[in-house]
Chain A
Amino acid sequence: MAVVRAPHHKALNRVAIAAVLVVTLIFLAPIYWIGSTAFKPRSVATSVPPTVFFTPEITPFIKLFTKRVQLTKPYDPAAYEAASWWEKRIYDGGERILKVGVSIQLSQYPNRFMNSLIIAVISTLLAVSMGTITAYGFSRFTMAGEGDLLFFILSTRMLPPVVVAIPMYLMYREVGFNDTHIGLIILYTAFNLSFSVWLMKGFIDEIPKEYEEAALVDGYTRMQAFFRIVLPEATTGIAATAVFCFITAWNEYAFALIMTNRRAQTAPPFIPAQIGSGITDWTAIGAGTFLFLLPVAIFTFALRNHLLRGVTFGAIRK
């Protein structure tokens, strides 16, 4: 019940901690399921009853990175004998790896992963750098209609992506930006910029302006003061903002689904596409998901202390 932290509530505390344990397990169970599917043999992924513990194997990752095809007749025993250990795993699963001559064909996964990386990193850099200087502008100077401008900036983030996607699609087709990296980078930058301005303004507001005043007295120009005094002070805020912009861009699905195709497709719309050609292969899709979630999970841990400011749009002051 209540959050009384008095000593005579020790019993209550124990119950609460036990409850925390249970809740944590429930919340982590789906994540365990996603992660473990990446290492399951195919028959285990949909076994009845569901399998929690099993001997992990690497086959799903072999599938993830190769182009494969369903066998329509038994494989050639000679070819099987000549095959490497990982190729045999594919044969055992009733498939064979496609080849041009002797070189194996890779799946699109590495390419989609790289697209995600390029687009998320560049759009994050743009959104954070533009957001930081704009936040500084709003924080230190007055401007006519400032409140309206800030409202305008925030409101651009409130639009459902599909609402923006319709005209953007029409505009992009005029300028040839459909299915290009630059097209998606612009979209994600625009989407994250408002977030970045609001978040950074919260951080910069907290840097005492006396620091800059002192620097100006010492003969710094305003630009020098910004770069040498304000930016170093704002490092933590910049890092937190960057992580949140990155996660948003990394996970984005709707724009990527509509605006990309062969060249610039990112991983989120691609992963569901690997669901399998004849029977759902959850293990390969689990492997793709596992690798895709890894960076975000690492970020979450590395920057857990900044998460609070980030998710709350800077509305909370510590």
Chain B
Amino acid sequence: MANDTDETAVDGPLPVVPFLKGADGQDPYLEGHECGGCGAIFLGERTTCSNCGAMDQMVAKRLSNHGKLYSYSIVFRSFPGIEVPYISAIVDLEGGGTLKGNLIDIEPDPANLSFDMPVEVVFADALGRKDRDGNSYLSYFFKPAA
């Protein structure tokens, strides 16, 4: 017997954020929007640049999967049900764009982390989290690059 969850769930994972494209295919990527006026890069679609004010000059841009660790915190206390510790990382991507995400595949210890260490963007299931309709999600993560 089908339940409500099955009826409303869609095929394939949904993107964890709107700027993660191709979540249900073989080639997921992160998309920025670059201002034709000043070059500022935004995450997600928009029409007006909040840096220079240019209108209708945003161009979609595939963001790099390579970047460098800009800053971080190691989170030991979070909300109930959230597994700790984990590394909350700020990463500057090659060619522009800055993202926040979890840095995985490395012990969360300051001794292991150095500013500007190379990291790579990887795509994987969103830690098993599902929405109320039972949909699963594809998320992005950072891991140390070789």
A and B part of one assembly: no
Chain B residues in the interface with A (C-beta under 8 A): none
Chain A residues in the interface with B (C-beta under 8 A): none
